[in-house]
Amino acid sequence: MDDKPRSTPAGTATAGTTQAAVILRVLRVCLHSGFALLLLVAVLRLLGTGLQGTDWLALGLALILAALYLLGTVLEKRHSADPSRFDPRPYSQLWLGAVCLLWLLLIWVSADFVWLAFPLFFLQLHVLALRLALPAIALSTVLVIIALWFHKGGADGGALQLPMVLGPAFGAAFAVVTGLGYRALYVEAENQRSAAEELRRTRAELARSQHDAGTLEERARLAREIHDTLAQGFSSILLMGRAAESSLDDGDTATARGRLRTVQETASTNLAEARNFVRGLQPPALAENPAENLAENPPQDPLVNSLHRLCDKTETEAAARGTRLRCRFDLEGTPVELPNPYSTTLLRAAQASLANVWVHASAGTAVVTLSFLGSEVAMDIYDDGAGFDPAQVTDAARRPDGSGYGLKSLQERVTALHGSLDIESAPGEGTVVAIRLPLADPPAGNEP
């Protein structure tokens, strides 16, 4: 495998923007440094010949030019570092015009200042639109040629020499080519910066949407778990508590004691469920394998043992409520180890269905059948109770007490595992809840 770090689109855009920014910064520093160096050389040459007459004017203009140029560059740098500071860009053309005017006065005084034209070419390309920059550069080149001719004796009838034309012309051409390259690099850097910012915004929005979706999914999961475990457990505790109270009123302390023991067991199971919500582990019923059940229920499949215990508990709770309910568990096929989400879904389906049986159905018999069919695992919960019309089941969201969430919760669990849920029922004809969950890798030798 390749262990080299792979760059993401955001990282590539950011790296490209950073590289372009570094190049632009180097070019900008070179431009400002070149202007300062040429201006310093011209001032030193002016001082070296001794200040006489108009030399004082040239020195004053040079100092003003230096201050004005420095002011513009400092304001630009401060704004680029902190956009909340004063933005000098709306005044950039006025600044450039003042700089060029001072330069024109200086080249009229001394030929040493004509070489400042080369950094000015770059400034004109950077500040002005191209349709204005090219004529400005051409005019500046002509002024440089005229200044050189004038200071070389042209005013006294001296001829215009070829180097006086070729030097400024080649310098201007080089400045235009380089400036256009700088402009293209600047535009590319701005485009990359905009693309990187847009990509960062998009990724931030995507992260927020994923976070919101995860929050909603987690809320739905907790709602299912609370309904299928804690809510049903509390309902069982309430009913068993009332039954124990009734037994105490009748003086039947032995029955009351047994029902209170069931209350304690249910409360203990609910406490374990609540703790496992925090840890995100499997349901306690799947992790349990009490020693007293080992002889009757083989330990090879926790789900099978859990369903056995659930049926026994359902009979006990129904009897405590005064209902004669025979609840039986049947196993078909050879049990195989199921993924935890499968075991949890099947156990929750049995818990919810049997709770509805002994609370609502007034059934005399309930049968839970778990079938391992090779390519799928199936579970059917049958009861011979009152039945109902599935098409008229009230949506949980419309019930003010929050009940009626069981079928919706069960459907969400089964759908998440790409399974199917079918409910067959009619008033007076009992109910069958059928669940089918596909197995990705069915075990060999376990075909139906």
Closest alpha carbon to 165 in 198, 189, 141, 199: 141
- Residue 357 tokens read as 């049986």
- The DSSP bridge pattern shows strands 326-332 and 365-372 to be parallel
pLDDT greater than 60 at residue 432? yes
- The DSSP bridge pattern shows strands 365-372 and 420-425 to be unpaired
% of the chain beyond a pLDDT of 70 = 79
> At a CB cut-off of 8 Å and minimum separation 6, what does 427 contact?
386, 387, 388, 389
> At a CB cut-off of 8 Å and minimum separation 6, what does 244 contact?
255, 256, 259, 260, 263, 320
Query: For 446, what's the count of Cα atoms within 13 Å in the CB-facing half-sphere?
Result: 18
pTM of the model: 0.45
Instruction: With residue 303 as reference, give the H or E element that holds it.
Output: helix 302-320
pLDDT tens sequence across 374-425: 889 999 999 988 888 777 764 444 454 445 556 777 888 888 888 999 988 8
Task: Report whether 387 contacts 426 (CB < 8 A).
Answer: yes
Closest alpha carbon to 193 in 416, 357, 15, 329: 15
For 342, other C-beta atoms within 10 Å of its C-beta total 17
The residue behind tokens 């011209």 is: 42
pLDDT tens sequence across 113-165: 888 888 888 888 878 888 888 888 889 888 888 888 887 766 555 666 777 78
pLDDT tens sequence across 245-273: 877 877 878 777 877 887 787 777 777 77
**Band of pLDDT at residue 38, cut at 50, 70 and 90:** confident
Closest alpha carbon to 402 in 223, 219, 225, 216: 223
What is the average pLDDT across 322-345?
Answer: 86
* pLDDT recorded at residue 6: 46
The rounded distance, in Å, linking the Cα atoms of 138 and 172 is 8
For 71, other C-beta atoms within 10 Å of its C-beta total 12
**Amino acid sitting at position 364:** G
The rounded distance, in Å, linking the Cα atoms of 269 and 143 is 96
- Residue 250 tokens read as 């009748």
DSSP string, 137-194: HHHHHHHHHHHHHHHTTGGGTPPPPHHHHHHHHHHHHHHHHHHHHHHHHHHHHHHHHH
> What dihedral do alpha carbons 355, 359, 365, 366 form, nearest 10°?
-10
End-to-end CA separation in angstroms for the chain: 43
**Band of pLDDT at residue 287, cut at 50, 70 and 90:** low
Residue with more model confidence, 175 or 289:
175
Task: Report whether 329 contacts 354 (CB < 8 A).
Answer: no
- CB environment 47-62: b (16+ within 10 A), e (fewer): eeeeeeeeeeebbebb
> At a CB cut-off of 8 Å and minimum separation 6, what does 49 contact?
55
**Amino acid sitting at position 92:** S
User: Edge to edge, what strands does the sheet with 420-425 contain?
Assistant: 326-332, 365-372, 376-383, 431-438, 420-425
